Structures are given as structure tokens and as C-alpha cells.
Homo-oligomer: A and B are copies of this chain.
Amino acid sequence: MRMSEGCLIVISGPSGTGKGTVCSALLAKHPEIAYSISATTRKPREGEQDGVNYYFKEKTVFEEMIQNGELLEWAEVYGNYYGTPLAPIREKLSAGKDILLEIDTQGALKVMEKFPEGVFIFILPPSLEELEKRIRGRGTDAEDSIKRRLNAAAGEIKLAEKYQYAVINESVEETVETVAAILKAEHFKSKRCTAIINEISKSKGE
């Protein structure tokens, strides 16, 4: 029996921990979970669809959204805005759907402030050495970029204590199972079940 409203699951962690792979695998295994789509002012690339890959917005529209507090968080990257619109999240949650937001640690901290009822999960690498191996293994990053990421990661890992949950990503399959267990458990948090608790306590004689 489904007892509670939907949860916003925020998955975050340093670059290279594999959080993207974990999110894709989670969505593949649990298609009932919705994915939070970002808004951006950058132009669509070939094949990208509005409302699927991103919500594509004009700069003035995006700035209005910022002004009106319609974004859970936003950032400017190389002259383009990126952000998380709140309205589609609220809509899905009140329809009882869970929604997954994958975001960097800076963004997650902002979401924590604006939406503390979210479920915040920090994905950890097994060690910084292993993180270095994974980043080098991609073969796409220059040496100075690798060093920068690793230094950032060492600092970011301490942020894990600000999250409710911390999961070491040793195997994607295990991490997905753990995130699914966290999500299941969160649905049974009594603060999310007050309506049904009330209903049961008054159920006599129905």
C-alpha cells in the first residue's frame, strides 16, 4: 500500500564518482521514477527536444524565473544559464510520483536550502585513488583538469556529512539497490504519512 506523497531524490557527489551512471541505471530499473529536467538558455543541439532534454528558455525568460523564485537553484556556465525549475517538481510530487535530480555539490547545497524535504544522497568514490583512476580512465581530460577535479573532490567529500545519506559507489548495481532501499524507506517516514495515520486513527466503524 502506497502511504505517502512522492519524494524528490537528489543525487550528488564529486565529478567522477559515477553518479550519472547510477542515475541512468536507477531510472532503467525503476521507470516509475521521473527525472528532473533542467532549464537552460543555451541553444538546443541537434536532436535535443524542449521538455525532454532541457526546457530551452530565452535569457530574459530565465532571468524572470530567477526573479520570481521559480528555480530551485541556478548557475551561469560559460555565459549560459542552467537551473532546476520548481513547478514541474511540485506537480509530479503532488501526483505521488518520485522525482530524481542529479546535480553537482554546489547545486545540491542550494536545493537543500530551498527544498529541505528532499532526500539528499551523496555518492562517494571508494577512495581518492580510485577516483583518480576513474577520471584518468575516461581519457578525455587534460592533466591540469584532472588535478583540479581531484583537489575539488577531496574538499567536496567532506560535504557528504551535510547530506542525509552517503553511499560508496563500489558497484553500480549495489549502489542502485541501496538508493532504491533509501527511497522505499523514505516513503515510510511518518512525517510523509500523517494523512493516513489520521485516517486510521479515525477509521472505527467505517
Contact = CB atoms under 8 A, between A and B. Distances in A.
A164 B176 CA distance: 23
Contact of A165 (B150, B167, B190, B196): B190
A200 to B, nearest CB: 6
A160 B129 contact: no
Given A127-B206, A164-B189, 5 more contacts: A3-B166, A128-B201, A128-B204, A154-B204, A182-B184
A167 B188 contact: yes
A86 interface: no
Interface stretch (A32-40, A92-100, A118-126, A137-145): A118-126
A125 B185 contact: no
Interface string A31-61: 0000000000000000000000000000000
Nearest to A190: B166
Contact of A129 (B163, B186, B194, B205): B205
Given A178-B188, A182-B185, A197 B161 contact: yes
A157 interface: yes
User: Which of A129, A132, A160, A190 has the largest count of B CB atoms less than 10 A from its CB?
Assistant: A190
Chain A interface size, under 10 / 10 to 19 / 20 to 34 / 35 or more: 35 or more
A202 to B, nearest CB: 8
User: Which of A1, A132, A165, A194 has the largest count of B CB atoms less than 10 A from its CB?
Assistant: A165
Contact of A206 (B129, B154, B188): B129
A129 B168 contact: no
Contact of A185 (B1, B132, B161, B181): B181
A112 interface: no
A158 interface: yes
